[in-house]
Amino acid sequence: MSLTMIEDIKGAVREAGQLALLYSGKVHKGLKADQSVVTEADNAVESFLRLSLTRLAPTYGYLGEETEETKPPGDGETRYWVVDALDGSRAFAAGIPLWTPAVCLMDGNNAVAGAAFNPITGELFWADAEGPAWCGDRPLRPDYSVELKPNTFILGPTNHHRSFEIDFPGRVYCLGAPIYQLCLLAKGAVKAFFFDPVINLWDLALPSLLLERVGGVLVYGSGRPVELGELRGRRPVPEPVFAGGAEMVAALRERLHFIG
């Protein structure tokens, strides 16, 4: 991918974040069929990103959380956009700064480039077709050593106390939006991440790329690696998801058991 393309992707998510800010404090919450929250901002940002990315690469396909129909790639094309216009809609509607628009470019079953932007903190997480993962102009270099101590932080779902049996000596923080939490994991702010089986391709596409570049893993509770291609049909993941350093994830899979 050319430098110009990744700069366009980064520019698009920056603009998407600024657009969402125009709706901050002015939205009404609605519920989708799966009981997740949606607002006017979700739809506006989705429309903006779909238009911007389609203009950038007209033959690429498009899959967005708020878009009912998936646009397949053009004849002979294998690339398509995966978009979460506003990951963290509940937080956004509540005025909590834990949300981000995210864009990932896929080639077949593989994530190749993308970006996510939190306009409140100014964090721009991104990766190009080659090279490291970045936050702004700093390469991400997390420490993924195994650590099971009282002050070890991991990130999980807000309902973890109901859906998991947990034997972990540290602290479980719950920030809601899975993309932003996984970006913080790639940054090294926490040691690991786990989530119940309610997330989708748009939640995992960009984070999988960031984690690959920093030496992390993204696996199911069974230990099987998450294969993005299996999620193209808009189905949620079939099992709980764990992410982080391989040894830390293996330790947590022994200590955190999904009970539904």
Q: Which residues are annotated as a binding site for Mg(2+)?
A: 65, 84, 86-87, 203
- What is the C-alpha separation between 79 and 108, in angstroms, rounded? 6
- What is the C-alpha separation between 155 and 164, in angstroms, rounded? 13
| C-beta contacts of 61-67 below 8 A and 24+ residues apart | 63/201, 63/202, 63/232, 63/234, 64/202, 65/200, 65/202, 66/38, 66/42
- What is the C-alpha separation between 208 and 104, in angstroms, rounded? 10
Beta strands in the chain (DSSP E): 30-31, 37-38, 61-64, 79-87, 100-107, 110-118, 123-127, 133-135, 138-139, 153-155, 164-166, 171-173, 192-195, 217-220, 241-244, 256-258
Three-class SS of residue 211?
helix
Annotated binding-site residue numbers: 65, 84, 86-87, 203
